Structures are given as structure tokens and as C-alpha cells.
Amino acid sequence: MVSVLKRPWTVVLLLWCAVLVSATGAVWTRHRARELFVELEQLNRDKHALDVAWGQWQLEQSFWSQHAQVESTARRRLGMTMPDPVAIQVVLP
């Protein structure tokens, strides 16, 4: 340690290297933070788009599960009809 104090330019050189490393670290950290922020915003946009799609699917499911829609589809696609009231049997538990 005594030899370092005898040569003051080595101390200056070491401090200068420390400053450069610190500045480079600060720049890299700032750049990385910006990259992560951009990624976060993209993920938020994707989440919003998925939320909208989910809402649309919920509305569509609600439409297709309505009684009138189910009955209309059963009549049209499957040819189903309501049975005669005489043919209906109630089974008690």
C-alpha cells in the first residue's frame, strides 16, 4: 500500500477506472430499465386485448346459452320438437 501512495498517478488511474465502471453500470442499468418498461407496457396491452376478447367470449356464451336460442337451434339443426303433453311422464324421486 505504501508503494501506491508513492505514485499518485496510480491512485488517479484506479479512481478513473472506478468512475468509468460506475458510469457504464449506470448507463446499462438505465437502458435495461427502459427495455423492461417497454416490455411491461406491451404485456399490459396484450392483457387488455385478452380482457376484451374474454368479455366478447362471455357475451357470446351468454347468447348461445339462452333458452330461446337453445330451443331454436334444437329445432332447426336437430329437428327436435316439444313432446305432446300426454306423452310427458313425471318421475318422482
Mean pLDDT score, 44-67: 93
Residue 6 is predicted with a pLDDT of: 64
Residue 20 lies in a domain: no
Task: Read off the pLDDT band of 1 (50, 70, 90).
Answer: low
**Domain containing 55: what range?**
44-76
* pLDDT above 90 (res 10): no
* pLDDT above 60 (res 2): no
Q: What is the pTM of this model?
A: 0.56
Count of structural domains, the chain: 1
Residue 16 lies in a domain: no
Residue 59 lies in a domain: yes
Residue 34 lies in a domain: no
DSSP 85: G
Residue 93 is predicted with a pLDDT of: 85
- For 88, left (φ over 0), alpha (ψ -120 to 50), or beta? beta
